[in-house]
Amino acid sequence: MPKKEYIVKLPDEERAALIALTKKGTIAARKLARAHILRLADEGKQDADIAAALSVGLSTVERTRKKYMEGGLAYALNERPRPGVKPKLDEKQEAYLIALACSTPPGDQVKWTMQLLADRLVQVGIVGEISDETVRRTLKKTCSSPGKNSSGAFQP
């Protein structure tokens, strides 16, 4: 079964938009490559010639043509949103963790460990389960350092 050929014919306003887009100073590299692909495809160039001229893969040119024909200019130029993973801790839970890390450690402990913090979060009922690595990444995101300004610690 032969591949379906997607012929790109840009209306004048879309062609002008692509020209303006490619002359901009700052634009994402993938978006710029897709804009160039569509402009060259509109000029009647073959996929192999476009791929060679822009140093992109042949399948990239084919996919860009197909996306333009299926969804229009915006669909062809922009990437789909990536799903990502839901954060394990929300803002209130993170705030509790930071406050807990800045508090006095339990019993005979000199300082909080990541595992102690994770265990305390589960014990208090903040989360059902959490790993010490999640605690570490959450605390690394913050700039919390107990005593950084108050106890004469070295300033960066």
| Higher per-residue pLDDT: 146 or 45 | 45
CA angle 126, 129, 133 (to 5 degrees): 105
Confidence of residue 154 (pLDDT cuts 50, 70, 90): very low
Give the Cβ contact number of residue 84 at 10 Å. Answer: 6
How do residues 10-35 score in pLDDT, each as one tens digit? 999 999 999 998 888 788 899 999 99
What rounded mean pLDDT belongs to the chain? 87
DSSP state of 147: T
pLDDT reported for residue 1: 57
- Given a cut of 90, whether residue 80 has pLDDT beyond it is no
* CATH for the stretch 12-77: 1.10.10
The three-state (H, E, C) secondary structure of 57-69, written as one string: CHHHHHHHHHHHH
How do residues 48-64 score in pLDDT, each as one tens digit? 999 999 999 999 999 99
